[in-house]
Amino acid sequence: MTVACTHGSPGEDRILVIIPAHNEEETIGDVVARVKESVPVADVLVIDDYCSDATARVAREAGARVIALPLHLGYGTALQTGFKYALERCYDYVVQMDGDGQHEPRCVSDLLAEVRSGAADVALGSRFLRGRSYKAQFVRRLGMMLFGFLTSAAIRQRITDPTSGFQAFSRQVVEFHTRDGYPIDFPDADVLISLSLNGFRIKEVPVIMYQKVGKSMHGGLRPFYYVFKMLLSIFLTFFRERGYKARR
């Protein structure tokens, strides 16, 4: 899917921050407000993944645009909805982050700087670089280590935080993410491997992440089910088409 775009002013980049959310009314307002304070030039889009609380209203009051999904379709589908919105409306750069307060909005600029400079197509926020400390549950930490090893081996590049949902993309990556085959539930290590196999450059950037506040849209997912699904998805990634090559 390729969309021809024209911009209002020469040299003016259009930036969109996508925040998928499922019942995040307690945190979404603060997240949106802090993103707009940190990156005033960016638009903020909240994907309401069939929330049963006031997430959508709070997000709008904080200044975000909101797209409401008709059913609870999952994290990956919510993200891809945002990517399609960004592509159709000709945004140059996109940032994805969570609405539960885990990701520090001040770090959005650090991620954007890498893709805007052309140093990378994907800036992956890592909670473990430069001595960053993050306490994860034992099973989750084991999963991070396992998928970090598998991802690093697959793309021949060290990746410390393959499950990070705090990322920035170029427009071409956004286009790639709107294709069929994007995971509907766990777009993590498998997506990074697919991007690398198709010629996209990935660079990790140190970011600040906090422990999750309350129940997020990731919360409730059984860790062993996640490990099984991710291992299967990584395996299948190597058999998918690699015809899409990143343009330089």
Q: What is the pLDDT of residues 127-145, one digit of tens each?
A: 989 766 666 665 667 778 8
Given a cut of 90, whether residue 58 has pLDDT beyond it is yes
pLDDT band for position 218 (cuts 50, 70, 90)? very low
Query: SS3 for the chain, per residue?
Result: CCCCCCCCCCCCCCEEEEEEECCCCCCHHHHHHHHHHHCCCCEEEEEECCCCCCHHHHHHHCCCEEEECCCCCCHHHHHHHHHHHHHHCCCCEEEECCCCCCECHHHHHHHHHHHHCCCCCEEEEECCHHHCCCCCCHHHHHHHHHHHHHHHHHHCCCCCCCCCCCEEEEHHHHHHHCCCCCCCCCCCHHHHHHHHHCCCCEEEEECCECCCCCCCCCCCCCHHHHHHHHHHHHHHHCCCCCCCCCCC
The arithmetic mean of pLDDT across residues 120-128, rounded, is: 96
Domains of the chain in sequence order:
15-237 (3.90.550.10)
User: What is the mean pLDDT of the segment spanning 211-236?
Assistant: 68
Residues 83-121: pLDDT tens digits? 999 999 999 999 999 999 999 999 999 999 999 999 999
User: Which range (61-65, 131-135, 236-240) has the least confidence?
Assistant: 131-135
